[in-house]
Structure 1
């Protein structure tokens, strides 16, 4: 099958949607499909062979964050060229309601279109206001996927229609088989995310840290992600700052090793999350997870059965739970075992098969419609009456 995938966000800025698209493309290629991904990217960004650059992206406030998107006449021309050259059996557009390549591709594409909605934003006035503009493009979509029930709810409430829920995928074994690093073990808490994006929740964790260290002074916090490290610790007492180690941007391999090494992974995100791929990665690596009780996080963690939850933005609740878990190896082992079993439902072997099933449904439907409209094709009008030419 020839599959075209449209990524809305800049390929050179790591994020959950980009990782999902990258891993989906790798999975499909491994199965023997032809895949091309169209994505914004700076000229100097090294790209996998299956990624086609749509040009430089610009920062745009979107869904409580700043996304790097690509939109405009030049982008539209590149989208049309990519579609023409690709002759795809199916187009898979991610975030078609964002002002980026997905919407441009939705306007320009012909044939079967599958759309995945990642955003969870139940009070998006911008999406409501933009609906009259989006409607003609969205009506061309053959099938809709939402990465979680909360992304599906956002779609239903703002844009109408419905979607099948297929979660983000993870290569579970990649994380499960990573080698721990000894220097990252023994009394460590892990955090992975953009340091300077408040909704990722690092300020909440920093506020909880003094109470955690007062109870367990040997604890260290390992932070992986880009951002201003000095600003991140400026409200932390000077004597506690050495207990925080910033690792900067890490490779996928080192992220997996980090998650395999820590005693506890903390996800203090405060909002704007439709899924929580880092939770799935942490569970895949066997890390006990403590996360804010966002609806999407609760769903990923099986309502607290596969990981513990604390009240969102409550630093005291976070600290209390972290101190208890760090002092209870048996509970951490229990969370490790439950998480490792629960996370298998997110493996690409399952998620990829579900997405391929959607592709096959829309391409089979398009072929049936084409045959019905061509009177000489099997199933066409002339063929039904035995009048088609040989």
Structure 2
């Protein structure tokens, strides 16, 4: 099966999309498929990534708000490249302009839109929900909902990594929604990696004894992750029990978060741990993971915590909520520091006992996704 992924938000500078692309380029050929990532860039390049795996960039403008990214600006050139590549299936990794471009491509090739982003949760609901109900916000953003409904008619699959997103899109009239949860790195995360000495060291850095509880937060330091709210929630919960928090991440909102911490000695903001083995040990050594973002399409941090035997405290909306199921944690009312503090105390006073239901691996994710695609192609051929 020849798969072309039209990946508008790929950047060589890193991020979750780049990680997913690299996994696809490795696993897809191992499963017998030919994978092409078609991304915008400064010029036309074909970069071989191994047997039956390549990255092709088309000359495109830089994204004005973030120069690390580009965007597809020439629809005819995109269509011409798809004509040249002759894929068996086309994926699109963004629900924005590139999805409409591929939707207008004159071909009967099956298409799948992979929802790597949830713009309504990341922006509209987060900005306006304190003032308006979600139903009112949806009515105000009817134009975007109509865009999503159009894509649902143009695409054979609208792939969602969380049940909440799939159900919300389907309820909103978006056709062809399916659930394919993403996977975690195999043989890396485990409760066996818990390191009591590291836990003591982290608590000491939070000016707390070993008898205190240790929370960990993992993610990009950006507005939608709601780190200031998490800082407030942990500060409130720590009034009732000795409690430390370490936040692992980097991003443009670091100074804003440091200001929110206001010198609280029990909260530490760490950089990214790039050594994956060390990160797995760090994660397994916490007593719980706390997360604030209700706009996650999957929430890799919560999935990795679950695999590490670490319970999660997560919003009741978005992909993170899926990882609290099966006794693996608690949810709280999204956007509420008070609700997050209450959930934190409830969980730490009565921590769940594992083993927790394990998430699938990255390999398992792609096996299921590509099997679904093969079924689409077979049905299309049978109908023809």
TM-score normalised to structure 2 length: 0.74
Match of 1:58 in 2: 63
Per the alignment, do residues 351 and 179 of structure 1 end up closer, same or farther by CA in structure 2, a change over 3 Å counting? same
Per the alignment, do residues 26 and 318 of structure 1 end up closer, same or farther by CA in structure 2, a change over 3 Å counting? same
Aligned equivalents of 1:326 and 1:210: distance in 2? 15
Q: 1:93 Cα deviation (Å)?
A: 1.9
1:267 has 2:291 as partner: yes
Of 229, 232, 235, the match for 2:260: 235
After superposition, residues 170-249 of structure 1 pair within 5 angstroms as: 170-176=184-190, 184-186=198-200, 187=203, 188-197=214-223, 199-217=224-242, 219-238=244-263, 240-241=264-265, 243-248=267-272
After superposition, residues 208-357 of structure 1 pair within 5 angstroms as: 208-217=233-242, 219-238=244-263, 240-241=264-265, 243-248=267-272, 250=274, 255-269=279-293, 271-294=294-317, 296-302=319-325, 305-323=327-345, 325-326=347-348, 331=351, 334=353, 336-338=354-356, 342-344=357-359, 346-357=360-371
Root-mean-square deviation (Å): 3.6
Q: 1:167 Cα deviation (Å)?
A: 1.6
Of 358, 363, 367, the match for 2:372: 358
Per the alignment, do residues 89 and 235 of structure 1 end up closer, same or farther by CA in structure 2, a change over 3 Å counting? closer
Aligned equivalents of 2:143 and 2:255: distance in 1? 39
Aligned equivalents of 1:154 and 1:347: distance in 2? 25
Per the alignment, do residues 125 and 183 of structure 1 end up closer, same or farther by CA in structure 2, a change over 3 Å counting? farther
Aligned equivalents of 1:252 and 1:57: distance in 2? 31
Q: Which is higher, the Rg of structure 1 or of structure 2?
A: 1
Where does structure 1 lack aligned partners over 5 or more consecutive residues?
62-66, 371-390
After superposition, residues 125-144 of structure 1 pair within 5 angstroms as: 128-129=142-143, 139-144=153-158
Q: 1:200 Cα deviation (Å)?
A: 0.8
Where does structure 2 lack aligned partners over 5 or more consecutive residues?
121-133, 204-213
Q: 1:264 Cα deviation (Å)?
A: 1.8
Per the alignment, do residues 7 and 215 of structure 1 end up closer, same or farther by CA in structure 2, a change over 3 Å counting? same
CA displacement 1:90-115 (0-9 Å, x = unmatched): 112233x312x333223226212122
Aligned equivalents of 1:70 and 1:225: distance in 2? 24
TM-score normalised to structure 1 length: 0.73
Aligned equivalents of 2:245 and 2:155: distance in 1? 48
Aligned equivalents of 2:151 and 2:333: distance in 1? 39
Match of 2:26 in 1: 26
Aligned equivalents of 1:137 and 1:6: distance in 2? 15
Per the alignment, do residues 310 and 153 of structure 1 end up closer, same or farther by CA in structure 2, a change over 3 Å counting? closer
Match of 2:177 in 1: 163
Q: 1:78 Cα deviation (Å)?
A: 4.6
Aligned equivalents of 1:184 and 1:86: distance in 2? 51
Aligned equivalents of 2:150 and 2:311: distance in 1? 45
Of 85, 101, 106, the match for 1:104: 101
CA displacement 1:223-242 (0-9 Å, x = unmatched): 2232343321213343x247
Aligned equivalents of 1:299 and 1:220: distance in 2? 23
Per the alignment, do residues 263 and 253 of structure 1 end up closer, same or farther by CA in structure 2, a change over 3 Å counting? same
Aligned equivalents of 1:208 and 1:42: distance in 2? 44
